[in-house]
Amino acid sequence: MNAESRDQGRPQSPAESGADVQAAAADDAGDEIRPTDIVFDCPHCGHNLAIDYRGAGLQIKCVACEMPTLVPIPDGMAVTDLDLSPGELLSQLFQTRGVLNKREQQVAELSQALDSVKARRSELERSRMTTLHRYAELVNMCQSITRAQSDITVTLNRMLTLIAEEQQR
């Protein structure tokens, strides 16, 4: 690899923890990619990233676009091959992170569903208020007509009285 042509992106810490795992652009200067690194493309910008295997399943910030990005957990990652004594523990940790990530995704989906239910509910409430207002308006109109009707009756009676008086002269 040619160090001169590499870009300036510096490694960044994982977004959620103070872990000593760092993500780097795979073509970044200075950091040689070790065989144990996880190399993957940012799902947002496609930038090629490399991260220490201990970052498997962690959420990191992409060095190129700075979007939160999930480090993939390699299938059948041979943890014992990595010259680590607590390999089983680490393998369990990766599995737990994988499950956790799925659960977090489910929580996000559920909260999205909840939001849309809430939005629908307030929409229904608004339309119910509109209906109630219209009913009130109709009741007012009916009352106006009733009042006008009784005015007409009073006037008609008055006219009939006047006519009767004229007839008796």
* Residue number, 44 or 102, with CB nearest to Zn ion: 44
* Residue number, 66 or 151, with CB nearest to Zn ion: 66
Least distance from Zn ion to the Cβ atom of residue 59, Å: 13
Residue 60's CB: how many other CB atoms inside 10 A?
25
Burial of 67 (0-12, 13-18, 19+ CB in 10 A): middle
Site string for Zn ion, 40-59 (x = CB under 5 A): --x-xx-x------------
How many helices (H) and strands (E) are present in the chain, helices listed first?
Answer: 1, 5
| Token duo for residue 127 | 């339309």
The only residue of 62, 73, 79, 90 in contact with Zn ion, by rule CB under 5 A? 62
Residues that bind Zn ion (CB under 5 A): 42, 44-45, 47, 62, 64-65
